[in-house]
Amino acid sequence: MLDKYGNDNSEYSKNIIEEIKKTSPKVAGFIEKEYSRQKNNVELIASENYCSEAVMAACGSCLSWKYAEGYPGMPIDRHSGNRGRYYGGMKYVDELEEYCCDLWREVFNTDYHVNVQPHSGSQANFAAYRAVLKPGDKVLAMSLDDGGHLTHGSSVNFSGTLYDIHFYGVDEKGYIDIEDLKKKADEIKPKLILAGASAYSRTIDFKLFSEVAKSVGAYFMVDMAHIAGLVAAGEHISPFGYADLITTTTHKTLRGPRGGMIFSTKELAKKVDSAVFPYSQGGPLEHIIAGKAVCAEEALTDEYKTYIKQVVKNSKAFCDEFKKMGYSVVTGGTDNHLFLLDLSSHEFTGKDLQDRCDEDGITLNKNCVPNEKRSPVQTSGVRIGTAPMTTRGFMEDDFIEVAHRIDEIVKKLDTEKSSQK
C-alpha cells in the first residue's frame, strides 16, 4: 500500500509489472507509467480509491479462467428463485459466491437478497430498472446537473432513452428540494423514485423518500455507490429497510475492486437475478467476486470504520479551508466524502482547473453545479473527494495544505484570464 508520500512499502506492484514485462514490455510500460502517476499525484477524484493488495491479488487469480453462467445451486441463499449453473466444475465458485453474498449482508446488517454479479454500477442500475420497469415507465430521479448520475435519466444514457424520466431538483442552497420531490411525485405518479447521487455532499433522508414513494405507489430505489462505505461504517443513514432496490459499486468508498452489486427485498429477488442473468449479462467475473469478498471482509474490521470516519473528518476540514479562503461551496459544506467548488464567478471553467491541476500533480474532475450555465464539457465546478488520499494516510492538515496548492493554481488562472481581456 502506498503511504501519503507515494512510497510503496511492498514489492507486490513491482513484481506484477516485472512479470508482465516478460511477455509484453509495451503493456508493462503503460502500467508502470500509470502506477507512477498514481504514486506521485494527489488523487482527489471522489469515485476512485486504492484497494488492498489482497483485493488486487484475488482479482488476478485463477478464477479469471472459470466460466460460471447462472447462480449457485447450493441452497444457502434461499432468497433467489434462480438455481443452478450452465457449466460443470462449479463447486468452489458456488461456495465463493454464496460466501461473498453472506458477507455483504453482514456488512450492511441486512437480510436483503444480494446479487454480486453486476460488472459495474451502471450494469447494476440497468438490471435493477429492468426488474421493476418496462420501457416507457415513469421514473423520478435527481438530474445530472444537480448531482445525479448519468444512469439516473440522462438523455444520452440508456436510462434516458428507455424510460420516461422526470427530475426533482435542489433548492437555492443546493440541498435536495423535498417540496419539489413531493409535488412532482404527486403530479407524475412515477413507477419508480430514485435517490442517490454522484456529486451531492449532504446526507440523504431515505426514510422521507420512502414515505413519498409509498404515498404514490412507487417502487423506491437507492443508488448508494458513492456513500456505501459510509453506510457500512455507520457514517450515513442506511437505506436498508426503506428501499425496495439498492445498487452500489464496490470501488469507491468501499475500497474494493471495480464492480457492482444489487440488493433487493426478497419479493424482488427472482426478478433482480433474472435481470442480471440471463437478461443483461453472461458469465459473471468470479475473480472480481473474489475481490468483492475480500473487500467485504475488510469492511467488517474496526480499521475500516476508523478509516471512513477519517474520510469524513478530512472532507470537512478540506471543505472548510476553501470556505475560509472565500470559495463558494455547493450547499455551503459537506456531510460525506466529497464537496463541490462552484467556480461560476470565475472566468475560467471547471475543465480549466482540472487540466491545470493535472499539470501540478493534483487529480480532480470538472463537474456541473446547480443552475449550470456552461456545457457539461466545460462546467462551472469541480468535484473533490477525500477517500483515496485518506487511504494513503492523509489527515486534516495534509488536505488543508492541498487546498492552498489548489488556491495558488486558481489565482494563476484568474491572473491569466484577466490579462487576456
**Inside any domain, residue 29:** no
> Looking at residue 287, which CATH number applies to its domain?
3.40.640.10
Q: Which three cell numbers stand for residue 298?
A: 475488510
Q: Which three cell numbers stand for residue 36?
A: 507512477
- Residue 2 is classified by DSSP as B
Q: Are residues 288 and 313 in the same domain?
A: no
Residue written as grid cell 455551503: 332
Element housing 337 (H / E): none
Number of domains in the chain: 2
**Inside any domain, residue 4:** no
Q: Are residues 350 and 246 in the same domain?
A: no
- Report pLDDT digits (tens) over 55-110: 999 999 999 999 999 999 744 444 554 557 888 899 999 999 999 999 999 999 99
Residue 334 sits at φ, ψ, to 5 deg, of -150, 150
Q: Are residues 404 and 351 in the same domain?
A: yes
pLDDT value of residue 12:
76
**Inside any domain, residue 23:** no
Name the E strands within 70-128.
Answer: 113-115
Boundary residue ending a domain (234, 265, 299): 299
Rounded to whole angstroms, the Cα distance separating 256 from 54 reads: 10
Give the predicted TM-score (pTM) of the model.
0.95
Rounded to whole angstroms, the Cα distance separating 407 from 107 reads: 39
Q: List the catalytic residues.
A: 67, 69, 223, 249, 252, 258
pLDDT value of residue 2:
85
**Inside any domain, residue 176:** yes
Name the E strands within 14-101.
Answer: 42-43
Boundary residue ending a domain (258, 280, 299): 299
Q: Are residues 260 and 363 in the same domain?
A: no
Q: Which three cell numbers stand for residue 29?
A: 510500460
Q: Are residues 247 and 313 in the same domain?
A: no
3-state DSSP percent of the chain in helix, strand and coil, to 5 = 45, 15, 40
Rounded to whole angstroms, the Cα distance separating 412 from 414 reads: 5
Q: Which three cell numbers stand for residue 388?
A: 483515496
Range of the structural domain that residue 213 is part of: 62-299
Q: Are residues 227 and 348 in the same domain?
A: no
Rounded to whole angstroms, the Cα distance separating 256 from 239 reads: 20
Residue type, 400: I
Q: Which three cell numbers stand for residue 124?
A: 447494476
CB 305, CB 148: distance < 8 Å: no
Q: Are residues 136 and 249 in the same domain?
A: yes
**Rounded-to-10 torsion of CA 369, 313, 55, 91:** -90
Prior bond of 190 cis (ω within 30°): no
User: What is the bridge-based pairing of β-strands 219-223 and 113-115?
Assistant: unpaired
Q: Are residues 229 and 310 in the same domain?
A: no
Element housing 204 (H / E): none
CB 274, CB 82: distance < 8 Å: yes
Boundary residue ending a domain (248, 279, 299): 299
Residue written as grid cell 466524502: 337
Rounded to whole angstroms, the Cα distance separating 152 from 174 reads: 18
CB 127, CB 276: distance < 8 Å: yes
Give Cβ neighbours of residue 397 (< 8 Å, ≥ 6 apart): none
Rounded to whole angstroms, the Cα distance separating 118 from 247 reads: 10
**Rounded-to-10 torsion of CA 361, 362, 366, 371:** -140
Rounded to whole angstroms, the Cα distance separating 289 from 59 reads: 8
pLDDT value of residue 79:
52
**Inside any domain, residue 211:** yes
Q: Are residues 96 and 111 in the same domain?
A: yes
Q: What is the number of alpha carbons within 13 Å of residue 407 lying toward its C-beta? A: 16
Residue 383 sits at φ, ψ, to 5 deg, of -105, 135
Element housing 288 (H / E): helix 286-299
Taking alpha carbons only, the member of 357, 315, 358 closest to residue 339 is 315
pLDDT value of residue 215:
98
Q: Which three cell numbers stand for residue 413?
A: 488562472
Low-confidence ranges of the chain (pLDDT < 50): 74-78, 81
Q: Are residues 158 and 268 in the same domain?
A: yes
Residue type, 102: D
**Inside any domain, residue 38:** no
**Inside any domain, residue 10:** no
Q: Are residues 109 and 205 in the same domain?
A: yes
**Integer CA distances (angstroms), 418 to 64, 200, 343, 348, 354, in order:** 54, 31, 15, 10, 19
**Inside any domain, residue 42:** no
Q: Are residues 204 and 284 in the same domain?
A: yes
> Looking at residue 349, which CATH number applies to its domain?
3.90.1150.10
